[in-house]
């Protein structure tokens, strides 16, 4: 999906953390005063303590013992001013936009809360029912709320203007998540919130995922994500790998059932070299029947430093 360019000013972008060093990374400029200026090199920049821009940050500030510089500011170019051995020095810093559709800002809620565009709110209603108030549906805004607990307490999702609408739902300003794992993910068109993925009240969307599962046994099939569909449908499956070093051999497969019975689909033949980068992924489209689990499985020659993630999504 293309980046939502209009969202670049919704949040402060993050610069760093990087370590200032005098000639060598081993010579970190610890406890050094750093002043951040706008691109003109004269005007003190407005800094923030986090991406929401809710609280202003100190400027100048002091690096820690490792010379770490980290701050949040509106996207653009800045000039960092500091000293190396008593000699005034400047450095150009680029703060890149923090788009709401490039990464979730994950927040855990145990009580009713007000969410921001770009938030993924993990709502735990074990103690009492929770109301998650989404912002007004500004064009291009994105948001997600997940009920994480198994209690009978509901998580209500509401918006101050417009409706929350999607497949299987009656459009309204308030919708309800009743069961553990139920969630709504939505984009706004400037008037209403439109669900692009959901469970609970409707169908479709992401239905299962596994994050950073450690591979525990070599040369043995290990399930890293599973989902049992309640209706026969098309599903996408994806697996992603990351290792500390080396190029392990192994395989990836999906087990499920279609209209003709049990299926084992090899995404890679066993014994092939698995990709090692964080962007290395494999995917496939399957037609699975209701009532039989879809399992994404991995087999590798090594265990040390190897993790895998998987996603199963309803079309």
At 246, list the tokens: 């080396």
Q: Which of 170, 203, 236 represents a domain boundary (last residue)?
A: 203
| DSSP-based three-state secondary structure for 7 | helix
At 276, list the tokens: 């090692």
The H or E element that residue 247 is part of is none
Q: Which of 164, 180, 203 represents a domain boundary (last residue)?
A: 203
> CA–CA separation, 151 vs 148, rounded Å?
9
The answer as to whether 100 is a domain residue is: no
Lay out the sheet containing 61-62: strands in order across: 61-62, 33-37, 76-84, 87-95
The answer as to whether 277 is a domain residue is: yes
Rounded to a whole number of angstroms, the CA Rg of the chain reads 24
The pLDDT confidence band at residue 228, using thresholds 50, 70 and 90, is confident
Instruction: Identify the pLDDT of residue 10.
Output: 53
Residue 64 pLDDT greater than 50, yes or no: yes
Query: How many separate domains does the chain show?
Result: 3
Q: Which of 4-8, 277-281, 307-311 has the highest mean pLDDT?
A: 307-311
Please give the residue range of the domain that contains residue 301: 206-314
CATH of the domain at 264: 2.60.120
Q: Which of 169, 203, 237 represents a domain boundary (last residue)?
A: 203
172, 164 Cβ separation under 8 angstroms: yes
Q: How far apart are the first and last CA of the chain?
A: 16
In terms of domains, do 305 and 234 share one?
yes
Averaged pLDDT score across all residues of the chain: 79
Note the pLDDT tens digit of each residue in 241-282. Answer: 666 566 778 888 899 988 888 989 888 878 877 765 544 567
> CA–CA separation, 96 vs 98, rounded Å?
6
CATH of the domain at 141: 2.60.120.640
The answer as to whether 134 is a domain residue is: yes
249-258 and 205-214 strand pairing: unpaired
> CA–CA separation, 24 vs 30, rounded Å?
13
Query: For the whole prediction, is pTM greater than 0.95?
Result: no
């Amino acid at each position: 999906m293309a980046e939502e360019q209009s969202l670049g000013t919704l949040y402060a972008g993050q610069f760093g953390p990087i370590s200032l060093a005098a000639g060598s990374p081993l010579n970190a400029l610890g406890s050094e005063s750093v002043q951040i200026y706008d691109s003109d090199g004269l005007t003190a920049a407005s800094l923030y303590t986090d991406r929401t821009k809710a609280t202003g940050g100190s400027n100048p500030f002091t690096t820690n013992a490792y010379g770490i510089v980290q701050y949040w500011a509106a996207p653009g170019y800045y000039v960092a001013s500091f000293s190396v051995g008593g000699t005034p020095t400047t450095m150009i810093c680029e703060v890149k936009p923090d788009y709401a559709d490039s990464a979730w800002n994950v927040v855990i809620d145990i009580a009713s809360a007000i969410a921001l565009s770009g938030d993924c709110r993990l709502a735990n209603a074990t103690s009492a029912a929770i109301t998650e108030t989404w912002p007004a549906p500004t064009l291009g805004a994105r948001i997600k709320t997940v009920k994480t607990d198994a209690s009978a307490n509901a998580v209500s999702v509401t918006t101050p203007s417009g409706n929350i609408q999607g497949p299987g739902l009656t459009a309204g300003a308030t919708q309800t998540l009743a069961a553990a794992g139920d969630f709504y993910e939505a984009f706004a068109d400037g008037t209403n919130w439109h669900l692009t993925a959901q469970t609970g009240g409707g169908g479709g969307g992401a239905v299962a995922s596994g994050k950073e599962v450690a591979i525990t046994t070599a040369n043995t099939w290990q399930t890293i994500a599973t989902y049992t569909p309640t209706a026969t449908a098309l599903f996408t499956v994806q697996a992603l790998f990351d290792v500390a070093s080396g190029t392990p051999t192994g395989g990836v497969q999906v087990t499920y059932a279609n209209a003709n019975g049990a299926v084992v689909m090899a995404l890679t033949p066993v014994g092939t070299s698995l990709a090692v980068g964080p962007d290395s992924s494999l995917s496939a489209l399957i037609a699975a029947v209701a009532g039989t689990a879809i399992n994404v499985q991995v087999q590798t020659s090594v265990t040390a430093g190897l993790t895998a993630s998987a996603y199963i999504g309803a079309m």
